[in-house]
A and B are shown apart, each in its own frame.
Chain A
Amino acid sequence: MTVLAMDSPGLWAENLHIKQGGKTILQDVNLRVSPGKVTALVGPSGAGKSTLLRALAGEIKPSSGKLGMGPHQLGEISIGKLAKIRAVLPQDSSLHFPFKALDVVLMGRAPHNAGMERPLDTEIARKAMVFARISHLEDRDFETLSGGERQRVHFARTLAQIWPNSSRVPMYLLLDEPTAHLDMAFAQALMQCAAYLTTSNIGVLGVFHDLNLAAQYADHIVILRDGRVLATGSPSDVFQPELLREAFGWNAIIIQHPTTGRPVVLSAEGDMGDFAPDLSA
């Protein structure tokens, strides 16, 4: 089934299959990340969410099917050109060398300045740090930061990489479980930033384990299971008890958020019930 035309806008996958080491990871996946929208990828562990994100980042070549950005296939766009319009925040990245936080954020400008930082780059890096609420960390040694602080520095680095310019060309921000190391306030703040970026023609794709974070911020949700797209649509379309049971094998209750009206997912299961083993034996 082909749902996307080749010339469709956005970052897209068409009939995407990916095999790694003889194992099929993704099968017949169709997906589009539209500029100006937040798209969320959810699904059980091992469903292929991170692989799909890495494929859309250009890291993994499709075994069959197509990956593309706007009218071009991803493979036709040079690594350097891609880096100017697409940023990726990995689940966690290690850095065991002493750099100041500002220097790490400035690395996000690398695709734009070929290693010769201009005053503009520093200005943008500082703006990105303000935006990510980490200006106070500017002169800190990256190695001494906490896990959450590091994640926010990397987030600022990706912001600096695709900082909006006057051309307003569509750009993409790919987030792989961006809030894994963050407390509630910073997780919300990060998602607010990401959602706000969509107002300047940036398309955001995020992999989420927290369904409620996805429900709260995404315009479009894709549920992945066993490497296939199980459902796609708005949060209220896809967050249905039957679909969630099919995806996760768990019973859920959906209620409505009192102020935003968006769906809120709650577990419908209490104690272990029939699964409870006899621990006294």
Chain B
Amino acid sequence: MFAKLKIRQIAASSLRNPAYLNGIALVLVALIIVSLGAGAVKISPAQVLGVLLKSIGLGVAEPDLAHSYVLMSIRLPRIAFALLIGSSLAVAGACLQSVYRNPLADPALIGVSSGAAVGVALTLVAGSFFGGTAFARAFFGIWSIPVAGFLGGLAATMIVFRLATRNGRTDVATMLLAGIAINAFCGALIGLMSYLADDAQLRDLTMWTLGSLSGANWTTVLTLTPFVLVGLVVLWRNAHALNVLLLGEAEAFHLGTDVDRLKRRVVITAALMVGAGVGFAGVIGFVGLVVPHILRLVAGAEHRFVLPGSALLGALMLVAADLVARTIAAPAEIPIGVITALLGAPFFIWLLLRNRNKWRL
């Protein structure tokens, strides 16, 4: 009892700007209810709540069976999927920006997205020459694409990290350059695979690169959940060390931080989290870049605000983008990566112009 109370006190005292966080959470909940109701089968918010309450045994009225099925088997897992991927992209972005001490860093910078794309491209295209695709299908079944994406992303990140590490010290500038080089190399491999692909493979590959949440079901959600939750907890526990790291690596050392261990932990955790999501949903850009920025503009760079804020706002942005993606051209569905890039890129340019004098590498 006492211990529980103490934990709650500590959690409360270490969160910053709870008013903003509560505000974002409230909007997120409202958006989830709206999004659950939107689509080919329209369901009113009251009916949505009725089904949700019933599913946890609190319902009063018996909900419509069709509504119940659409919500519980199709829309709810999809929204859970959006929540997981949105929060992991945004939190990973916020943390990597701190490791690079550069507000323009993005999860893609450590090679995780392009590495994942290479993994997927190899599985889809090159594998067919050597019977590899058949092998992967036999071994991983429907999981072959996410597994390939995950492994590819992780491999690329590890190469970037190893290239930048010498004598146990990781040089952030080298990591940035190594990331650019690996991204370019991966781009060439993907180009080669696209060239070799037949029409069907090319379409699969392109669709994956554009990002989509249509692969969501309870199995994918449950598989992704541990990666995201563990990642969020690990990064949250380093929130204060990340604050100190923003002062500079020498300064962080003077203040008692084992800087190289911190960098290693953050980069690997971010790669695991993002890699798992990218494997399932493909490349979804700009969330990791833009979300932490909005938060810093609103209420400062303190990580005990930016990290929980990124988890909430990243989730919110992806639920919103997914809502647009599946309703704007219904019954067709626009790839979600297209939506986030269409909205994210102009916003990013605006940020860039606004802070032109302030940001330097």
Interface residues of A (CB under 8 A from B): 54, 57-59, 79-84, 86-88, 90, 93-100, 103-104, 107-108, 110-111, 114-117, 141, 143, 161
Instruction: Evaluate whether A83 and B255 lie within 8 angstroms (CB atoms) in the complex, with A115-B241, A116-B14 already known.
Output: yes
A99 touches B254 (CB 8 A): no
User: Are A83 and B300 closer than 8 Å at their CB atoms?
Assistant: no
- Determine the distance from Cα of A9 to Cα of B103 in the docked complex, in whole angstroms: 44
- Which listed residue (B244, B256, B358) contacts A82, Cβ 8 A? B256
Task: Tell me the minimal C-beta distance from B300 to chain A in angstroms.
Answer: 5
B10–A116 touching, CB < 8 Å: yes
Task: Verify B254–A107 contact, CB threshold 8 A.
Answer: no
A116 touches B246 (CB 8 A): no
Please tell me if the beta carbons of A110 and B103 are within 8 angstroms of each other in the complex. Answer: no
Contacts of B243 in A (CB 8 A): 99, 103, 107, 110
A143: which B residues are within 8 A, CB to CB? 358
> Cβ of B258 < 8 Å from any Cβ of A?
yes
Query: When the two chains form their complex, are residues A98 and B300 in contact, meaning their CB atoms are under 8 A apart?
Result: yes
Say yes or no: B248 contacts A110, CB within 8 Å: no
Known contacts A90-B251, A116-B10; decide if A99 and B300 are in contact (CB<8 Å): yes
18 chain-A/chain-B pairs, Cβ below 8 angstroms: A59-B253, A59-B254, A79-B253, A79-B257, A79-B258, A81-B256, A84-B256, A95-B246, A95-B248, A96-B103, A96-B359, A97-B301, A98-B296, A98-B300, A103-B300, A104-B247, A110-B241, A141-B300
Q: A107-B247, A116-B10 are in contact. Are A96 and B358 (CB under 8 A)?
A: yes
- Whether A97 pairs with B103 at a CB distance below 8 angstroms is yes
Q: Which B residue's beta carbon lies closest to that of A99?
A: B301
Contact check, B13 vs A110: say whether CB atoms are below 8 A apart.
Answer: no
B240 near A93: Cβ-Cβ < 8 Å: no
The A/B interface has a contact count, at CB < 8 Å, of 86
Distance, CA A93 to CA B244, complexed state (A): 12
Cross-chain contact of A87 among B102, B103, B241, B254 (Cβ < 8 A): B254
When distances are taken between beta carbons in the complex, the residues of chain A under 8 Å from B61 are none
**B302 pairs with A103, CB closer than 8 A:** yes
Compute how far the CA of A107 lies from the CA of B101 in the bound complex, rounded to whole angstroms: 16
Q: Please give, as numbers and ranges, the residues of chain A lying within 8 Å of B254 by CB-CB distance.
A: 57, 59, 83, 86-88, 161
Q: Once the chains are docked, how many angstroms separate the CA of A121 from the CA of B103?
A: 28
Residues of chain B touching chain A, judged by Cβ–Cβ distance below 8 Å, are: 10, 13-14, 98, 101-103, 239-241, 243-244, 246-248, 250-251, 253-258, 296-297, 300-302, 358-360
Tell me the bound Cα distance from A93 to B257 in angstroms. 16
Q: Which B residues touch A81, using CB under 8 A?
A: 256
Residue of B nearest to A106 (CB): B243
Q: Complex: how many Å from CA A116 to CA B297?
A: 24
Contacts of A100 in B (CB 8 A): 300
Per CB-CB distance, the 10 closest pairs between chain A and chain B, nearest first, are A115-B240, A83-B256, A97-B301, A111-B256, A80-B256, A88-B254, A93-B248, A98-B300, A110-B255, A98-B301
A209 to B13, CA, bound (A): 44
B259, closest chain A residue (CB)? A79
CB neighbours of A80 from chain B (8 A)? 256
Query: With A and B bound together, what is the CA distance between A80 and B261 in angstroms?
Result: 13
A94/B248 in contact, CB under 8 A: yes
CA distance A99 to B240 in the complex (A): 13
> With A and B bound together, what is the CA distance between A151 and B244 in angstroms?
16
Docked Cα-Cα span, A177 to B168, in Å, equals 30
Q: Are A111 and B255 in contact (CB under 8 A)?
A: yes
Which residues of the partner chain B approach A108 to less than 8 Å between Cβ atoms?
Answer: 255
| Pick from A58, A87, A115, A161: contact of B14, CB under 8 Å | A115
Cross-interface CB contact of B256 among A79, A93, A117, A141, cutoff 8 Å: A79
Residues of A within 8 A of B358 (CB): 96, 143
| CB closest residue in chain A, given B256 | A83
Question: A84 — nearest CB in chain B belongs to which residue?
Answer: B256
| Complex: A93 Cα to B246 Cα, angstroms | 10
A108, B244: Cα distance in complex, Å: 9
User: A49 CB to closest chain B CB, in angstroms?
Assistant: 16
